[in-house]
């Protein structure tokens, strides 16, 4: 399973990269705004800065919602750095653009996916990644993890190569549930990833090991 970090914060990206388990980054316009990144040139430079920190895929999202605009922005983003994956919303013109990009061997991440039917269209159009939003489904009392499982099973049955990138991860438990559901990738804020480190028996066990060592060695 691949771990992506879902942030545009360079310090958090560096911290995850330093841990040695980071496979990529996803961003979206809200995450860029959270970091105060505005204006086309600053936005493009920020993507380049992210690409210089990590060696894996970096999803950069288009703002346009019409076919020509998505293609124009996507080509510009893809030309920034070889790690860029063009993130395209799950809309009619987005699917057309994903098909165009896949024919040009430009990698894509189809975002804002909330149903198996949407995931089927993304795969048929040739998306590299599909991003079902787990947390936002849970927010409306739907079952985000069940959707991950449905998409994984569907892609496996038909042999689609599109990778299931579980997005909108809100907790460490979500990460574990996504592994159980067979997601290829999770994209998560830093804290749920760091939460994987924790277990009280690790803490108490380590304390006892160190106490026993000190008894004889101090
Ligand atoms: C996906 O790529 C999105 O950037 C992200 O995971 C959305 O998460 P949120 O629902 O916590 O905003």
Write the residue with the smallest CA distance to atom 9 of ligand 1: 168
Give pLDDT, residue 30: 97
Ligand 1, atom 1, residue with closest C-alpha: 167
Mean pLDDT calculated for residue range 30-44: 97
Active-site residue (options: 2, 34, 87, 149): 87
Average pLDDT over residues 181-187: 98
Mean pLDDT of 2-12: 98
Ligand 1: residue whose CA is nearest its atom 7: 168
Residue 102 confidence (pLDDT):
98
Digit-coded pLDDT (tens) for 95-153: 999 999 999 999 999 999 999 999 999 999 999 999 999 999 999 999 999 999 999 99
The interaxial angle of helices 172-181 and 144-158, nearest 10 deg, is 30
Residues 49-73 pLDDT 10s: 999 999 999 999 999 999 999 999 9
Q: Please state, rounded to an integer, the average pLDDT across all residues of the chain.
A: 97
Q: Is 104 a catalytic residue?
A: no
Crossing angle of helices 116-125/92-103, nearest 10°? Answer: 30
H helix intervals, 39-171:
40-53, 67-78, 92-103, 116-125, 134-139, 144-158
**CB–CB of 78/55 below 8 Å?**
no
Q: Output the six-digit token pair for 189.
A: 């804020």
Band (87; pLDDT cuts 50, 70, 90): very high
Looking at residue 96, its pLDDT comes to 98
Q: Computed over its alpha carbons, how large is the radius of gyration of the chain?
A: 19
The encoded tokens of residue 61 equal: 């999202």
Q: What is the mean pLDDT of residues 172-201?
A: 98
Ligand 1 interacting residues, C-beta cut-off 6 A: 6, 26, 28, 111, 131, 133, 135-136, 167-168, 187
For residue 218, what pLDDT band results from cuts at 50, 70 and 90? confident
């Amino acid at each position: 399973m691949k771990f992506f970090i879902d942030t545009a914060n360079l310090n958090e990206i560096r911290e995850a990269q330093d841990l040695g388990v980071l496979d990529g980054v996803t961003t979206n316009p809200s995450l860029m705004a959270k970091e105060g990144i505005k204006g086309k040139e600053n936005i493009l430079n920020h993507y380049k800065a992210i690409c210089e920190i990590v060696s894996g895929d970096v999803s950069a999202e288009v703002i346009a919602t019409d076919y020509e605009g998505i293609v124009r922005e996507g080509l510009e983003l893809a030309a920034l750095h070889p790690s860029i994956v063009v993130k395209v919303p799950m809309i009619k013109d987005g699917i057309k653009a994903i098909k165009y990009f896949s024919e040009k061997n430009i990698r894509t991440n189809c975002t804002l996916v909330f149903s198996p039917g949407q995931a089927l269209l993304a795969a048929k159009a040739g998306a590299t990644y599909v991003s079902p939003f787990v947390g936002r489904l849970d927010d409306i009392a739907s079952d985000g993890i069940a959707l991950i499982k449905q998409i994984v099973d569907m892609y496996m049955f038909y042999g689609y190569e599109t990778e299931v990138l579980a997005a909108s991860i809100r907790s460490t438990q979500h990460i574990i549930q996504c592994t159980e559901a067979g997601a290829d990738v999770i994209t998560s804020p830093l804290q749920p990833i760091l939460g994987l480190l924790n277990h009280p028996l690790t803490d108490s066990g380590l304390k006892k090991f160190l106490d026993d060592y000190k008894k004889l060695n101090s």
